[in-house]
Amino acid sequence: MRKRRRMRVNIMAKLVLSSLVLIALLHLCGGYKILVVFPLAGKSHHILGAGYVKHLLEAGHEVTYATPFPSNKTTDKYHEVDLSKNIEFYNKQTSKMLNLRAIINKETNIDVLAVIPDFVKMIKSMMESDKLVNFLSDPTQEFDAVIVEWLFTDVFAGIASLYNCPLIWSSSVEAHWIVLQLIHEPSNPSFNANVLSTTIPPFTFFERVANLLTMAAIKTIKYFYLQPRETAIYEEFFTPLFAKRGRQLPPYEEVVYNGTFMLTNSHSSLSQPISVPPNVKEIGGYHIDPNTKPLPANLQKIMDEAKHGVIYFSMGTNAKSKDWPESLKKDFLEVFGGLKQTVLWKFEEQLPNLPKNVHILEWAPQQSILAHPNMRLFITHGGLLSTTETVYFGVPTIVMPYGADQRVNALRAVNKGYAKMVELSYEMAGEMKVAIEEMLSNTKYSEKAKELSKLYHDRVVHPGKELVHWVEHVVRSHGALHLRSPALLLPWYQKMYLDLLALILVALYVIKVVLKLLFRKLSFKVPITEKKTN
Ligand SMILES: *[C@@H]1O[C@H](CO)[C@@H](O)[C@H](O)[C@H]1NC(C)=O
């Protein structure tokens, strides 16, 4: 009897022990299940998405990445949803909008209004992607959080609602007013540049008015044109998906304004300080590997031996060398050939009559190049990733913006004092030469770049760590409701006290009417009393 009891106790103890071990093991290799959705087929967007994936995987989470650029290197912790179908449409769109040749030829004054219908088509085609629909159709799939890149559409918010889990927005730039209104309220246009702005604060009177009008125009287009179409797309695609899970489709507005957190690819050292609620955090630079990879041997040698320093020239991933006019290629080579410095030119074609100090790189490990101590000057298009890397490594720049947010990045860089801007044109080579000479002879630009780099690095924690922390925080707190902005609870007219204004106007009107009545009564009485005295 006693023996049997002891045996039972023994078995119990073993059971408890093994389940403890199991729990501990689960805890160790558990992590959260996170879905990262970056549907836009731009290389720079993919770099940002891959940054999330890398940091979350390193922190031990299980990550699914919906991307147009799958690596096909999945593991039991890393899965992919292949959205490569989105590339075609994106390339068609951007070849219109981000066309170097057309900009140099001054052919593109992109008519934003004309682009919007195409944009709606693009959203629809991204949602229609069969691989995405298949993936979302699996009712057994669950996630702890969904991270969605916001780019001019809110439709993808529906994915988080489908999984009934917190939605984290990723903004590829700073928290400008359009994204900020999703989890707080639009920022004040009198001192905040809008995302495609060509001016920076402090604004002149006219710039300030223009900024307000732009805001009003975007709001109007969004409200009357985009939102009804987005709602239709949302209803069309998500109704059957929710039905598969036995659920009713929640209203679009409820889904879109349900985001719990926003991580922004920005930092005050390179953009402008913006006041945001506590559920918005800047993690600009998280895509940069703190352990810079070594340069390939030949490039290392070239850079080590450049005793007058190195100039690196790259126009980013969208600008193709075939779009450069022949005459400009020749002019650039002439300018570069006349310099003492070694020039690394990222270009997809080899050029004839290459001067000895100029090297063409079809592929360039940009971060490793910028990190080299002989690096003197970076000639760039001013994309945000390049700008961030510039500040990270403290390299002065000449910026030649040609589209998207590049101009505002360039203006900010010039304004902060580490850059010069050169406009794209057939005659630009001469101007570029002057700018290069000025930047190499005047140390103020590189000093400023170094100073900003110090500001950039002076943080509590690496932005990648911060990214992981906030994602985990959102999951642990079941959607970080304690950080939710109360501004979302109020309609706009209450925030602007228009109800008070209405009340005051009504009160004034009532007072006026009452006074009038009183006055009329008095004036009736007056003649009578007058008569009496007469
Ligand atoms: C709103 O967010 C919470 C948590 O962040 C989530 O659980 C819920 O499903 C979401 N609701 C909708 C309608 O998206």
Residue range 383-399, pLDDT digits in tens: 899 999 999 999 999 99
More confident residue, 129 or 479: 479
Q: What local confidence, expressed as pLDDT, does residue 154 receive?
A: 94
Model pTM score: 0.87
Q: Is 242 in the pocket of ligand 1 (CB under 6 A)?
A: no
Q: What local confidence, expressed as pLDDT, does residue 205 receive?
A: 95
Q: What local confidence, expressed as pLDDT, does residue 534 receive?
A: 47
> What number does the ligand 1 atom closest to the CA of 157 have?
14
d(CA 394, CA 449): 5
Q: What local confidence, expressed as pLDDT, does residue 26 receive?
A: 47
Query: Is residue 154 packed enough to be buried (19+ CB in 10 Å), middle (13-18) or exposed (0-12)?
Result: buried
Q: Which of 510, 365, 395 is nearest to 456 (CA)?
A: 395
Tokens of 384: 């945000």
How far is the centre of ligand 1, averaged over its atoms, from the C-alpha of 258 (Å)? 6
Per-residue pLDDT, averaged over 375-383, amounts to: 93
Q: Is 258 in the pocket of ligand 1 (CB under 6 A)?
A: yes
> What number does the ligand 1 atom closest to the CA of 258 have?
1
Residue 527 reports pLDDT greater than 80: no
Task: Write the CA distances from 270 to 179, 313, 383, integer angstroms.
Answer: 19, 20, 12
> What number does the ligand 1 atom closest to the CA of 160 have?
14
How far is the centre of ligand 1, averaged over its atoms, from the C-alpha of 164 (Å)? 5
Q: Is 283 in the pocket of ligand 1 (CB under 6 A)?
A: no
Q: Is 250 in the pocket of ligand 1 (CB under 6 A)?
A: yes
Residue range 5-63, pLDDT digits in tens: 666 656 666 666 665 555 554 444 569 999 999 999 888 899 999 999 999 999 999 99
Residue 263 reports pLDDT greater than 50: yes
Delimit the domains of the chain by residue range. Answer: 1-30, 34-288+466-489, 297-457, 492-522
- Give the other-Cβ count within 10 Å of 428's Cβ: 18
Q: At what angle do helices 384-393 and 406-416 cross, to 10 degrees?
A: 20
Q: Are strands 145-150 and 397-399 parallel, antiparallel or unpaired?
A: unpaired
Residues in a beta bridge with 66: 37, 81
Per-residue pLDDT, averaged over 305-311, amounts to: 93
How far is the centre of ligand 1, averaged over its atoms, from the C-alpha of 277 (Å)? 19
DSSP class of residue 487 equals G
> What number does the ligand 1 atom closest to the CA of 254 have?
13
More confident residue, 353 or 337: 337
Task: Write the CA distances from 239 to 143, 231, 393, integer angstroms.
Answer: 19, 11, 48
In the chain, % of residues over pLDDT 90 = 67
Per-residue pLDDT, averaged over 144-165, amounts to: 95
Q: What local confidence, expressed as pLDDT, does residue 511 receive?
A: 96
Query: Any idea which of 243-252, 278-287, 404-413 has the lowest mean pLDDT?
Result: 404-413
Contacts of 232 (CB under 8 A, 6+ apart): none
Residue range 452-467, pLDDT digits in tens: 999 999 999 999 999 9
Among protein residues, the one with the nearest Cα to ligand 1's atom 7 is 165
> Do the domains at 34-288+466-489 and 297-457 have one common CATH topology?
yes
Q: Is 197 in the pocket of ligand 1 (CB under 6 A)?
A: no
Q: Give the sign of the dihedral formed by CA 446, CA 450, CA 451, CA 455.
A: positive
Q: Is 260 in the pocket of ligand 1 (CB under 6 A)?
A: yes
Residue 115 near residue 95 (C-beta atoms within 8 A): no
Query: Any idea which of 23-27, 282-286, 329-333 has the lowest mean pLDDT?
Result: 23-27
Q: What local confidence, expressed as pLDDT, does residue 11 receive?
A: 64
d(CA 527, CA 530): 5
Q: What local confidence, expressed as pLDDT, does residue 239 receive?
A: 96
DSSP string, 267-290: -TTTS------TTEEE-TTTTS-S
Per-residue pLDDT, averaged over 353-377, amounts to: 93
Per-residue pLDDT, averaged over 239-257, amounts to: 96
Residue 359 reports pLDDT greater than 60: yes
Residue 163 reports pLDDT greater than 60: yes
Residue 206 near residue 508 (C-beta atoms within 8 A): no
Mean pLDDT, the chain, rounded, equals 89
How far is the centre of ligand 1, averaged over its atoms, from the C-alpha of 248 (Å)? 14
Q: What CATH number belongs to 34-288+466-489?
A: 3.40.50.2000
- Top CATH class of 297-457 equals alpha beta
How far is the centre of ligand 1, averaged over its atoms, from the C-alpha of 530 (Å)? 76
In the chain, % of residues over pLDDT 70 = 90
